[in-house]
Structure 1
Amino acid sequence: NKYCGGNWAGSTYMLDYVQELGFDSVWFSPHIAQTKGPTWEYPDGYHGYWPQDLWRINDNFGSMRALQSFVDAMHAKGMWAMLDIVPNHSGFDSPENIAVFNSSDYYHDCAPCQPGCGYSNQNPMQIEHCRLSNLPDLDQRNQYVTTQLLD
């Protein structure tokens, strides 16, 4: 599968090897549940950057307990764990299917970016409001969005 067989239990097992390579920290992809991809070529968000639910773990990597064990094992070895997050957008799906951000009120209006919600990297308005890579762009000016992201 596209997850390359890795999970938190396997990563925990490999920590000695990671240290032998000279690393003292691990930065890993967002660990939350992902939406499905837009095409057969990209069927799932294995990379972690198509968030669907901020409060549900991506069980392709294991359980919350396995994640906590991974982080605890890193700390026991004097290592740092850096969890990546996605504060800019949600995954490929209609807003009503995105937990927490299930209303179009939580996203920038894509209307000025038509056709197809594309954008030009020369246009600041489009960069800030349009769907980069066609992903729904969260409106962090909305207090609810900001609160959910900070929680």
Structure 2
Amino acid sequence: MTSQPITTGPVLRVPPASPAAAAAYFGASLAFHTDVSDVAAALAAEGDPGFVLLDSRSTASWDQGHVPGAVHLPTALIREQAANLLDPAVPVVTYCWGPGCNGAARAALALAELGFRVKEMLGGFEYWAREGFEFETREGRERPGADPLTAPVADGACGC
């Protein structure tokens, strides 16, 4: 078997990491992040999901829509209120608006600095809604249809 040479186009101008380095990087990434579908599956399963879901946005944003069962604690209040609202023995999954916002990362950092084990929910509230999961507003619960650009509409499972 002959191997094909690696080209120097824009994708491979910087060569891929070694398999060992890639495994270490992606393994570490999964220790810090989860996604909307995995959080939704954990919350829908019977029993305790094993984590607290924390919405780190403002009250106005929370009222506009949030994941049912989430705890509301804006990032600016974490240092003064986290100890009263959260159990340090229970991991926390943070979310904010979406991929264009780093509020969930700032919230996760503040919690980690206080000694909490944390993960960030990639996609945030935007992808929660876009993937068609139920959310709560001041007026009640809503369940939008899934955006076919973000989630499979036929069977609900992407297979990843």
Which TM class, normalised by the smaller chain length? 0.3 to 0.5
TM-score by length of 1: 0.34
Bigger Cα Rg: 2
